[in-house]
Amino acid sequence: MRPNNREKEKLWNSQATPHDEAFKKLLETFFEEFIALFFPELDELLDHSQTRFLMQELLVDIVGEEARNLDLLLETRYKALDAFILIHLEPQSYKDVHFLERMFIYYSRLFERHRKEHKMIIPIAIFTADDVKDEPHTLSVGIPGHDILRFQFLKVELRSHNWRKFVDSDNPVAAALLAKMGYTDREAKEVRKAYLRLLLKLRYQLDDARLALIMSVADLYFKPNKSQDEEILRELSIQFPEEGEEIMKLMPAWKRWGYEEGIEQGIEQGIEQGIEQGREEIIRKLLNKGFSAEDVSKTVDIPVDVIRKLQ
């Protein structure tokens, strides 16, 4: 029995990672910066002052019995044509053998609906899964000597980009996605440190809301490592002594939680130390009044050898 539309939608939702909404918000807020970072040639051709996101479109694959909302569809002006075009952004956070066909179906439905009002449709896929590499992005149909169809979408495979290429950037999208770039386990500490340095630069360019958005997306990808994080914080505090407080504010959410836990542990340790100091003071007073070490040991329930050390 084949799954119905509702079952397929439920399956798709179960496959999508929790980062999807945050990632969509990132693209909506920093579309121009995203294009400039990954497609600089296309960026030169677009008039971003004319960009606007369109309402969700429901696209139906009749044969595949699937219905999906396109969340990221925008209209912008293409300078060379002096006309408006559509750009479809499709984040993909898991491997899907049918993704290439799905992108073609989306394009076909958009072309069918919008070909009279828009001169061009540019589909872009953003692959965020760690195991995605060399994902196919061309669908070809033909016979010997004749091409019937050749469909190709633009793509970004985050793991295929080396993180070092972005460390000197002041692009907020680079900071948000640095943890998804390609790097080795040995480079993890350097990547995290580079991310915080990027935030230090961006805090002068972005308002609090946009900076918080960058951090919320990055927090989804960074894996906490307490010892490494404390070492990074110490190094950055030495490197930027006047900005220690700012660095703390810019630490990812999991890092701030770790410090809050540390503060609570410090309070508990302080209480324990205070109790211990008070107990030692009582022992000394008893000894000064002439009580023997054995008597004091019985009174405060502490071994005699500890009492003698204090004596």
Tell me the pLDDT tens digit for each residue of 51-94: 999 876 666 554 455 556 677 899 999 999 999 999 999 998 88
Residue 251 has pLDDT above 70, yes or no: no
Nearest to 258 by CA among 213, 219, 221: 219
Return phi, psi of residue 279, to 5°: -65, -40
Q: How confident is the model at residue 126 (pLDDT cuts 50, 70, 90)?
A: very high
Q: How confident is the model at residue 177 (pLDDT cuts 50, 70, 90)?
A: very high
pLDDT value of residue 79: 94
pLDDT value of residue 14: 46
Q: Which residues, 6+ apart, have CB-to-CB distance to 154 below 8 Å?
A: 39, 42, 122, 123, 124, 125, 137
Q: How confident is the model at residue 3 (pLDDT cuts 50, 70, 90)?
A: very low
Of 18 and 92, more confident:
92
Residue 261 has pLDDT above 70, yes or no: no
Residue 299 has pLDDT above 50, yes or no: yes
Q: Which two tokens stand for residue 44?
A: 């030169």
Using an 8 Å Cβ cutoff, are 44 and 162 in contact? Answer: no
